[in-house]
Chains A and B, each alone.
Chain A
């Protein structure tokens, strides 16, 4: 199969005809301070939320057997880059294994797939509508930071202000999306070159950069509205029937309710927050 990296093991699944589903990629990592970042546990929690709000089956791409999903796709742990994370007050580094997304078109078992980050917590039925459209590929174009009062009105651009930046936090496609994923894989294989052209950091592989270029060259529709993001300075404090409560570095409290949110702060992959979210999703 062209475009696969060496060492990838994958299960060839019969694509279920006329099926709609959600796909999440989740790989745990351990920081250089021995802190486990439980992306797999977070994916399990998000799968429960997805089944509750979107009422869709959930498949996971991961490296070890795991419960709580309708379909498990086992692969070798993909290559990753070192990434900084702040857990509590401790600054740490870990291997961020995010190189699998360009193969998602080959790996998905669904006919129409919505791919979400494990930390994009679903709390509404907003994404169900995309399955009823005839668009081939959709990405996030607009984001709104819940702690700021601006930024969703301004088009985010690549670092050299050449083309708009899109976000691969949520992606939707029909079938295998072959054209789109083959193009994404070509960009990934030549990441250093494209980093030079568009001015982004070649040392850290980001799917956002890859798919921004795909969106520039191929017909891609943006998801309507803005995806809400809880930026890295927001700590999750509680999760209950009133919603999710965050506090920022200046002790400003922000509560969101019935809102899909992409939580950037990696604290939610550590144990106290995972327990909180597990109870919330149950």
Chain B
């Protein structure tokens, strides 16, 4: 690489953060009872209100109504969310340490 190219090297912090966020969103997706679900805060909060029942009909991310066991889906969603959020926090902290393009 020439000196000119080295000097021109740069990186986009906001884009890097956005890619991390997209990654986290992808990691929230999981399959259960033949449907696809997103382990977001809305789903977790909704399921927590139905822990006393064995069966519940909920629409998945494609709008297809599925009969699920709320406790099982809730546990899986919580696990998924925690794992994705923890990984996101670690990656975000690593990104925060980057000061120069050469460190990317």
Contact = CB atoms under 8 A, between A and B. Distances in A.
Interface of A: 124, 126, 129-135, 144, 146-149, 152, 221, 224-226, 228, 245, 247, 250-259
**5 shortest interchain CB distances as A-B pairs:** A132-B31, A129-B31, A134-B34, A251-B8, A253-B104
Contacts of A252: 9-12
B26 A129 contact: no
Contacts of A221: 62
Contact of A253 (B9, B22, B27, B61): B9
Given A133-B35, A134-B34, 8 more contacts: A130-B31, A144-B22, A149-B12, A149-B14, A224-B61, A252-B12, A254-B11, A255-B16
Interface string B13-47: 01110110011011101111011101000000000
A146 B19 contact: yes
B25 A225 contact: yes
Contacts of B22: 144, 152, 225-226, 228
B96 to A, nearest CB: 14
Contacts of A149: 12, 14-15, 18
A245 B16 CA distance: 12
A233 to B, nearest CB: 14
Interface residues of B, number: 30
A253 B38 contact: no
A259 B23 contact: yes
B101 interface: yes
A89 B50 CA distance: 61
Contacts, number: 75
A251 B10 contact: yes
A251 B7 CA distance: 9
B91 interface: yes
Contacts of A225: 22, 25-26, 29
Given A221-B62, A251-B5, A147 B15 contact: yes
A257 B19 CA distance: 10
10 contacts: A124-B27, A126-B26, A134-B34, A224-B26, A225-B29, A252-B11, A253-B9, A254-B12, A254-B16, A257-B91
Nearest to B34: A134
Contacts of A258: 23, 87
